[in-house]
């Protein structure tokens, strides 16, 4: 299996190199050259299997010969052993034809653990085989950072630096990043918003001298291996509700477009998905794009669902690549226009996008109201991101069962949850010491030179 860049001007790579690299050298993102398919019979055979076994069967063709079957099965087993629910991704029923896919039973209580725990194991095996050490730098709106730190802390082969927007993550999110004591963990509180953090990260990747000197590796959802790990729960949940014999729909609370892009890959692999609904909060660039055909940046307005406070949705580039018939030159031109505020999508590409996705947005008031109503009607306490999803899903209910992805545990956002429904959202017992531990973080300016100097000093490279 080969991976090619969405901008058409970087060498194609195998799975291991695409995973260890993250961003392509032409600034594009790696996607599989062809997407392997599963037959209806292959999908039907997944019914009733443990999560790990489904993960193996779904991901195996993408990994090809990077790992032996035995190695890969072992990696998957280790990745999900720390989850707090035997089903890993359990389904809960919200209404007659509406289900919630709880993706928050991992070690840091957000769906990011599904991918990050797997990547941690994949990196560990690949790097120890190569005898190499890499520097992981990640940008986070809150959940990616803690998931990455949890997955990589204490590993010899990596130093991990996480850039988060100072003052714009929740206390639980911040503490999950600042309280680990391992020496290879560096939490960096940067002046600016998440888009600034992501922009500096991309700048580091585009500074080849720095990139090569520190052996930079990226684990943001630009990393293909992360998207791949997230494809699995679309299969487990759809099969539990009757696929491939009936179609199912999904609504996905969306920021960087990684999670929903995984759903798109599942569909391309042959999973019978009816609607794939993009749900945004008030930072609704993706919903506006679907409505107007123009991808136009506006400022970010902080919301109660901070992990979706974004204007530059990186993985959208991957679906644009398909929408433009895999013409990397067109994608590169559009992305160049993005630095001037935005771009207009061609009519043909918009038709492709509208055939593939539906979309909706939830305002702050609607999100709060949804937390309250869901609690009253079902007893389910939703985090604000999941509530955005449930609200938008309810506007899109049809004949197929609707599965809304619950992306984080309510305990990560206790203030918003308490405001909305009067309910406390306590941390699970295994995390109860979080507020007693000392915090360790470095304040940094929104300045590429200063960031690179700090990383070089800390890694001695
Ligand atoms: C990261 C995150 C999202 C957005 O996911 P994308 O893959 O960036 O679209 C939504 N909700 C929560 C809780 C998250 O952590």
Rounded CA-CA distance 257/319 in Å is 9
Beta bridge partners of 58: none
Identify the bridge partners of residue 277 per DSSP, sorted by sequence position: 251, 358
CA of 161 from ligand 1 middle (Å) equals 20
Q: Ligand 1 centroid vs 28 CA: distance in angstroms?
A: 21
Q: Which of 78, 112, 202, 412 is catalytic?
A: 112
Cβ–ligand 1 contact at 253 (below 6 Å):
yes
The Å distance, Cα 169 to ligand 1 centre, comes to 13
Cβ 262 under 6 angstroms from ligand 1: no
* d(C-alpha 19, C-alpha 12), whole Å: 12
> Tell me, what's the pLDDT at 219?
86
pLDDT along the chain (461 residues), means of 10: 97 95 91 98 98 98 95 97 97 97 96 96 94 94 91 93 94 94 97 93 94 92 93 98 98 96 98 98 97 94 92 93 98 94 97 98 98 97 98 98 98 94 91 93 97 97 92
Sign, CA dihedral 207-212-216-220, equals positive
Residues 264 and 234: beta-carbon distance below 8 Å: no
pLDDT of amino acid 310: 87
What's the pLDDT at 431? Answer: 86
Give the mutation target among 259, 278, 362 for probing the ligand 1 site: most ligand atoms within 8 A of CB.
Answer: 259
Q: How many CB atoms lie within 10 A of CB 80?
A: 22
CA distances from 420 to 44, 329, 382, 384 (A): 41, 47, 10, 9
pTM for the model stands at: 0.95
Alpha-helical regions (H) of 324-363: 328-338, 347-356
Q: What is the DSSP letter of 427?
A: P
Whether omega for the bond prior to residue 52 falls within 30 degrees of 0, making it cis, is no
Is there an atom of ligand 1 within 6 Å of 319 CB? no
- What pLDDT is recorded for position 430? 85
Query: Quick check: bond before 244 cis, omega within 30?
Result: yes
User: Quick check: is 215 catalytic?
Assistant: no
Question: Distance from the CA of 284 to the center of ligand 1, in angstroms?
Answer: 14
Q: Check if 115 has its Cβ closer than 6 Å to any atom of ligand 1.
A: no
Ligand 1 pocket residue status of 176, Cβ below 6 Å:
no
Instruction: Using the atom order of ligand 1, give the atom closest to the CA of residue 254.
Output: 9
Q: Do 224 and 3 meet the contact criterion of CB atoms below 8 Å apart? A: yes
CB of residue 110 inside a 6 A radius of ligand 1: yes
Two structure tokens written together for 68: 């032996």
């Amino acid at each position: 299996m080969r991976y090619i860049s969405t901008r058409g001007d970087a060498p194609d790579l195998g799975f291991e190199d695409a995973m260890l690299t993250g961003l392509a050298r032409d600034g594009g993102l790696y996607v599989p050259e062809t997407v392997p398919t599963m037959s209806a019979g292959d999908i039907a055979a997944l019914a009733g299997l443990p999560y790990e076994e489904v993960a193996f069967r779904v991901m195996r063709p993408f990994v090809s010969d990077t790992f032996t079957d035995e190695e890969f099965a072992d990696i998957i087993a280790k990745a999900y052993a720390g989850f707090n629910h035997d089903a890993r991704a359990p389904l809960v029923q919200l209404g007659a034809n509406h289900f919630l896919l709880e993706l928050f039973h991992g070690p840091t209580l957000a769906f990011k653990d599904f991918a990050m725990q797997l990547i941690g194991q994949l990196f560990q095996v690949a790097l120890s085989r190569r005898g190499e050490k890499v520097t992981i730098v990640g940008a986070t709106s809150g959940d990616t950072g803690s998931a990455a730190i949890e997955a990589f802390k204490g590993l010899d082969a990596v130093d991990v630096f996480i850039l988060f927007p100072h003052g714009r993550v929740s206390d639980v999110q911040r503490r999950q990043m600042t309280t680990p004591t391992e020496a290879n963990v560096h939490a960096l509180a940067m002046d600016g918003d998440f888009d600034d953090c992501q922009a500096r990260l991309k700048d580091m990747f585009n500074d080849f001298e720095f990139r090569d000197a520190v052996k930079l590796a990226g684990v943001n959802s630009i990393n293909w291996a992360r998207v791949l790990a997230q494809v699995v729960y679309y299969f487990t949940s759809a099969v539990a509700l009757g696929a491939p014999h009936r179609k199912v729909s999904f609504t996905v609370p969306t920021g960087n477009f990684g999670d929903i892009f995984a759903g798109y890959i599942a569909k391309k692999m042959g999973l019978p998905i009816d609607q794939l609904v993009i749900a945004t909060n008030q930072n609704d660039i993706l919903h506006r794009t679907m409505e107007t055909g123009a991808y136009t940046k506006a400022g970010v307005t902080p919301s109660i669902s901070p992990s979706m406070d974004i204007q530059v949705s990186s993985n959208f580039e991957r679906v644009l690549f398909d929408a433009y018939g895999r013409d990397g030159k067109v994608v590169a031109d559009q992305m160049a226009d993005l630095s001037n505020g935005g771009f207009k999508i061609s009519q043909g590409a918009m038709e492709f996008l509208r055939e593939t996705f539906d979309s909706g947005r939830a305002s702050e008031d609607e999100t709060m109201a949804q937390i309250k109503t869901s609690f009253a009607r079902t007893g389910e306490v939703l985090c604000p991101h999941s509530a955005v999803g449930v609200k938008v899903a309810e506007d899109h209910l049809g004949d197929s069962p609707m599965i809304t992805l619950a992306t984080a545990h309510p305990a990560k956002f206790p203030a918003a949850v308490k405001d909305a429904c009067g309910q406390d959202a306590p941390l699970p017992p295994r995390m109860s010491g979080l507020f007693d531990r000392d915090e360790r973080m470095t304040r940094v300016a929104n300045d590429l030179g200063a960031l690179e100097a700090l990383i070089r000093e800390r890694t001695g490279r």
